[in-house]
Amino acid sequence: MRPVAIVGAGKTAFGALADRDLRSLAVESIAKCLKNANMEPSGVEAFYLGNFAGPEFIGQNHVAPYVAAAAGLAGIPATRFEAACASSGAAFFHAWTAVAAGAYDTVLVTGVEKMTSQPTPKVAEILAGAGDLAGEIRAGATFPALFAMIARRHMYEYGTTREQLAAVAVKNHDNGALNPEAHLRKRITIEQALAGKPVAEPLTVFDCSLVSDGAASVLITTLERARDLTARPIVVRGIAQTSDHVGLDRKETITTFPAVRRAGEKAYAMAGIGPRDVNVAELHDCFTIAEIIACEDLGFVSKSEGGPYAASGATARTGERPVNTSGGLKSKGHPVGATGVAQLCDLVTQLRGEAGERQVPGAATGLAQNLGGSGATCVVTILGVG
């Protein structure tokens, strides 16, 4: 397998963008990415699109060529990947596979979602389709309800507290306030987080990610070619995609995600590093409890220690292992199909030393963890400075 590197990254602002459609968002992120890579559309050999629910959100099927043609990429293979909230993480994994294996030299990967075209109850219904239709959804469960059960069980087994959940929200809002592309640039206090409007006990509105519109793109090529294109190639040192049961009732326990553990183990082994070597991470905080569990499953701390770890300040920008310096899904926003590639864009910014007030000094190794559904898909990617 050939070494692969990211040579360009670009994304839109995330938010409730009433005047934008899916295609214009995707095209904007592609244009920014290609400009960042000093690449013309003619240099792209294949286009991989991560999109969870374009047909349901906007009524458009056949989304990959729909976007590709508008971006000046007509004529090349254009393929859509769907893996719930890990859709663009999965698209990136398969793009990496294609370049590493020699099928293509240069591939563009985009993630996009236009969610606010539907009212909130309809959005919840569409998102619920990533769960187990025959069981969970028929019983009326939504993802806030499912992750509330996960949070409550984690509290029961390990003593995790609402204050520790709130600490995740406060930290991510603090980071997002410094991110000009974040959906919600608003600092909050622990007291505000605890007093937030209840969504599903014990989760409040401040424990839940945002319904957002947005797009993100990265351009990958061989490391050999990358060194001719940029002085700052960001190398894919490790990557893995894994899966698990969709329904929570099929899992042995709901306080850990086996797909995350397996993907992390495989990515660490490929990169030749361990959890202690990660300088900065973008974790999938669709709900605050998800970030706490991810820190445990990825080996940043032992099982049961995720809550105290969050409350200690260890994951803050100035902590021992900064997590979600972008603001995470909680503050940056969560246009589900765009999230995986957006995480990579944020890590590229950190590893290039371009994160401004959010910069982690000396960051040389970054990890992205992109989760689909309630743990049925996970993609873990480890990036390093080339």
Q: Is the dihedral of CA 276, 153, 369, 379 positive or negative?
A: positive
Residues 6+ apart with CB under 8 A from 27: 67, 70, 71
Parse the chain into domains and list their residue ranges: 4-119+212-234, 143-206+237-385
Q: What angle do CA 56, 61, 65 make, to 5 degrees?
A: 140
Distance of CA 327 to the CA centre of its chain: 11
DSSP structural state of residue 285: -
Pick the CATH number of 4-119+212-234 from 3.40.50.300, 3.20.20.70, 3.40.47.10, 3.40.50.1370: 3.40.47.10
Domain 143-206+237-385 listed as CATH 1.10.1060.10: no
CB 340 within 8 A of CB 87: yes
CB 226 within 8 A of CB 13: no
The pTM of this model reads: 0.97
Rg (CA), the chain: 19
Query: Does the fold of domain 143-206+237-385 match that of domain 4-119+212-234?
Result: yes
Q: Catalytic residue positions? A: 85, 334
Tens-digit pLDDT string for the chain (386 aa):
999 999 999 999 999 999 999 999 999 999 999 999 999 999 999 999 999 999 999 999 999 999 999 999 999 999 999 999 999 999 999 999 999 999 999 999 999 999 999 999 999 999 999 999 999 988 889 999 999 999 999 999 999 999 999 999 999 999 999 999 999 999 999 999 999 999 999 999 999 999 999 999 999 999 999 999 998 899 999 999 999 999 999 999 999 999 999 999 999 999 999 999 999 999 999 999 999 999 999 999 999 999 999 999 999 999 999 999 999 999 999 999 999 999 999 999 999 999 999 999 999 999 999 999 999 999 999 999 98
Encoding tokens for residue 348? Answer: 């590229």
